[in-house]
């Protein structure tokens, strides 16, 4: 049977395939992804692909079409079922499959969905996703085969493996978890039954309409329910997930948010006790405080490009035991498998807290105080965004500024630093600035505005965009 299928131009992203269900993403796309990805696996002499799906209303239909496409390419499909993305990664790793695909819209609104992929043990992203689109449009797939599918329940083994790395002391913790109606609901409920301490789970039911709040723990508004529950229960910590539980959010006993880079400080200090001198990786949006604290703890801080696939690849290259992003992705290769897993990160941070004498707020309060903007995103055409970065970089080079060009431009000054980068997934530019005084932050924002205007862009209004960090 002849096959060729073109995808919506907006759905083939840098790190995954994602779109609006019924508009830019359909069951036919899911079949085509399975048909083409299965062909890629087959041409790499592979045979097995693990598949999972999240709690979105559209996910079962997309998963079924995906499986049919994989079977048409001759694949043996191991259907892990409904659960968090990291459980699928665990299945693919421990069952040694030749690839895996997760049907998930991650932290996007309910009407979105998408596909995250691994080829062998490595993330499938960037040019590989573009090549999948090209092969699908050209009908360049293996001859139609007769594959098979079977259900595989790894949930018991996955939970047992999570618990096996619990390393807390005798302290009994009060913990509030906000599942956010994510696909981790069932796994989280079973996990906390086996963990020491007193546990409260909010929004534990898996519900793809996300009735409580948007499933993105990097946005302070989405943590308000968790912060209130921590206060009510007088809990030691609150932990939140995104829609497929590969990203974590944390609040301390005072209800203060520990942003991704601050959480990484806590985790880094612990990992460096057993891995002295190790490389700890964080993305370019992370605070300078993190890089300084890693160095102070005896580690080697490494700033790298934003993007979970890019971070994973750099970890493998450098042998880093720990990495993280401002977005809440945390990657452990120390005693774990190197993929991002919010449930595992939660277990590890609870172990650290259970061995501490004081509250988690003591750690946050002792960090050097910085003032920063949140992540500022503003529209810039896909055909223009990278050119703007090149122009800014060229002007900065002429001035002799201290610039890191790992991912966009990150400029250090006496006041602190500012960042401008092009998003890999959207037609936007991303900016951020951090200083050690309000006055310094205003000067950094003024520099940023000056550079944008010099490239003919109308700079967004950054006034009021300050947040203690």
How far apart CA 394 and CA 271 sit, in angstroms, is 39
Contacting residues for 158 by C-beta, under 8 A, at least 6 apart: 87, 90, 91, 187
- Domains 157-366 and 371-468 in one fold: no
User: Parallel, antiparallel, or unpaired for β 371-372 and 467-468?
Assistant: antiparallel
Query: Nearest-CA neighbor of 464 among 356, 346, 374, 368?
Result: 374
- Catalytic choice (11, 58, 59, 106): 106
pLDDT band, residue 460 (cuts 50/70/90):
confident
Q: Please give the share of the chain, as a percent, with pLDDT higher than 70.
A: 98
428-449 pLDDT per residue, tens? 999 999 999 999 999 999 999 9
239-269 pLDDT per residue, tens? 999 999 999 999 999 999 999 999 999 999 9
pLDDT band, residue 9 (cuts 50/70/90):
confident
Given a contact cutoff of 8 angstroms between Cβ atoms, the answer to whether 396 and 403 are in contact is yes
Query: Nearest-CA neighbor of 363 among 200, 448, 235, 250?
Result: 250
Contacting residues for 304 by C-beta, under 8 A, at least 6 apart: 281, 282, 283, 284, 310, 311, 314, 323, 406, 407
If you write DSSP's letter for every residue of 160-211 in order, what string do you get? HHHHHT----SPPPEEEEE-TT-TTHHHHHHHHHHSSSEEEEES-S--TT-S
Average pLDDT over residues 315-330: 96
The answer to whether residue 361 is catalytic is no
348-369 pLDDT per residue, tens? 999 999 999 999 999 999 999 9
Mean pLDDT score across all residues of the chain: 95
pLDDT at 201 over 60: yes
pLDDT band, residue 466 (cuts 50/70/90):
low
Residues found in the chain: 469
**Domain boundaries 157-366, corresponding CATH code:** 3.40.120.10
Query: Nearest-CA neighbor of 63 among 103, 16, 106, 120?
Result: 103
Average pLDDT over residues 201-205: 98
Query: Residue 417: which H helix or E strand, with range?
Result: strand 416-422
Given a contact cutoff of 8 angstroms between Cβ atoms, the answer to whether 5 and 137 are in contact is yes
Average pLDDT over residues 37-44: 98
Average pLDDT over residues 32-52: 98
**Domain spans of the chain?**
17-153, 157-366, 371-468
Q: Under DSSP, is residue 420 helix (H, G, I), strand (E, B) or coil?
A: strand
How far apart CA 450 and CA 228 sit, in angstroms, is 41
How far apart CA 132 and CA 31 sit, in angstroms, is 13
How far apart CA 320 and CA 292 sit, in angstroms, is 17
pLDDT band, residue 170 (cuts 50/70/90):
confident
Residue 267: CA count within 13 A, CB half-sphere = 33
- Provide the sign of the torsion angle of the four alpha carbons 358, 361, 365, 366, taken in this order: positive
217-241 pLDDT per residue, tens? 999 999 999 999 999 999 999 999 9
Position 277 scores a pLDDT of 98
Query: Residue 93: which H helix or E strand, with range?
Result: helix 85-94
Position 425 scores a pLDDT of 74
Position 376 scores a pLDDT of 86
Q: Which two tokens stand for residue 288?
A: 């300078």
Average pLDDT over residues 20-32: 97
Position 383 scores a pLDDT of 87
pLDDT band, residue 465 (cuts 50/70/90):
low
User: Is the model more confident about 14 or about 214?
Assistant: 214
Position 467 scores a pLDDT of 54
Q: Under DSSP, is residue 376 helix (H, G, I), strand (E, B) or coil?
A: strand
CATH topology of domain 17-153: Alpha-D-Glucose-1,6-Bisphosphate; Chain A, domain 3 (3.40.120)
Position 355 scores a pLDDT of 97
How far apart CA 344 and CA 340 sit, in angstroms, is 8
Position 31 scores a pLDDT of 98
364-393 pLDDT per residue, tens? 999 999 999 888 888 998 889 999 999 999
CATH fourth-level superfamily of 371-468: Alpha-D-phosphohexomutase, C-terminal domain (3.30.310.50)
pLDDT at 427 over 90: no
User: Parallel, antiparallel, or unpaired for β 122-123 and 112-119?
Assistant: antiparallel
* CB atoms near residue 453 (< 10 Å): 11
Q: How far is CA 215 from CA 84, 241, 438, in A?
A: 13, 7, 31
120-140 pLDDT per residue, tens? 999 999 999 999 999 999 999
């Amino acid at each position: 049977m002849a096959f060729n299928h073109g995808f919506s131009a907006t759905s083939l992203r840098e790190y995954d395939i994602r779109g609006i269900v019924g508009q830019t993403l359909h069951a036919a796309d899911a079949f085509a992804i399975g048909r083409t990805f299965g062909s890629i696996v087959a041409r790499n002499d592979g045979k097995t692909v693990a598949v999972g799906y999240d709690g979105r209303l559209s996910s079962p239909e997309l998963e079924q079409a995906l499986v049919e496409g994989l079977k048409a390419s001759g694949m043996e499909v191991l259907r892990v079922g409904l659960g968090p993305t990291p459980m699928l990664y665990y299945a693919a790793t421990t069952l040694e499959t030749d690839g895996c695909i997760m049907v998930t819209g991650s932290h996007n609104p309910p009407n979105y969905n998408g596909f995250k992929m691994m080829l062998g043990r490595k993330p499938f992203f960037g040019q590989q996703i573009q090549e999948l689109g090209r092969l699908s449009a050209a009908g360049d797939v293996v001859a139609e085969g007769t594959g098979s599918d079977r259900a595989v329940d790894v949930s018991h083994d996955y939970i047992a493996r999570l618990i096996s790395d619990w390393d807390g002391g005798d302290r009994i913790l009060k913990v509030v978890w906000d599942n956010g109606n994510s696909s981790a609901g069932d796994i989280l409920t079973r996990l906390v039954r086996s963990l020491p301490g007193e546990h409260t789970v909010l929004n534990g039911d898996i519900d793809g309409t996300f009735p409580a709040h948007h499933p993105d723990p990097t946005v302070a508004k989405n943590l308000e329910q968790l912060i209130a529950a921590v206060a009510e229960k007088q809990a030691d910590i609150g932990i939140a997930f995104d829609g497929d539980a590969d990203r974590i959010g944390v609040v301390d006993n005072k209800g203060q948010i520990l942003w991704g880079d601050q959480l990484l400080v806590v985790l880094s200090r612990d990992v460096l006790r057993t891995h002295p001198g190790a490389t700890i990786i964080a993305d370019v949006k992370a605070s300078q405080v993190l890089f300084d604290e890693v160095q102070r703890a005896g580690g080697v801080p490494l700033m790298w490009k934003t993007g979970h696939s890019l971070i994973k690849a750099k970890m493998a290259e450098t042998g880093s035991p720990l990495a993280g992003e401002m977005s809440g992705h945390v990657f452990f290769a120390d005693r774990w498998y190197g993929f991002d897993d919010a449930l595992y990160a939660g277990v590890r941070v609870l172990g650290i807290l259970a061995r501490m004498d004081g509250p988690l707020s003591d750690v946050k309060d002792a960090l050097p105080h910085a003032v920063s903007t949140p992540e500022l995103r503003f529209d810039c055409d896909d055909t223009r965004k990278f050119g703007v970065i090149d122009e800014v970089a060229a002007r900065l080079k002429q001035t002799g500024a201290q610039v890191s060009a790992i991912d966009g431009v990150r400029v250090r000054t006496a006041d602190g630093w500012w960042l401008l980068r092009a998003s890999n997934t959207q037609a936007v530019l991303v900016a951020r600035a951090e200083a050690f005084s309000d006055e310094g932050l205003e000067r950094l924002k003024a520099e940023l505005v000056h550079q944008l205007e010099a490239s003919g862009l109308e700079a967004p209004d950054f006034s009021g965009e300050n947040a203690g960090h």
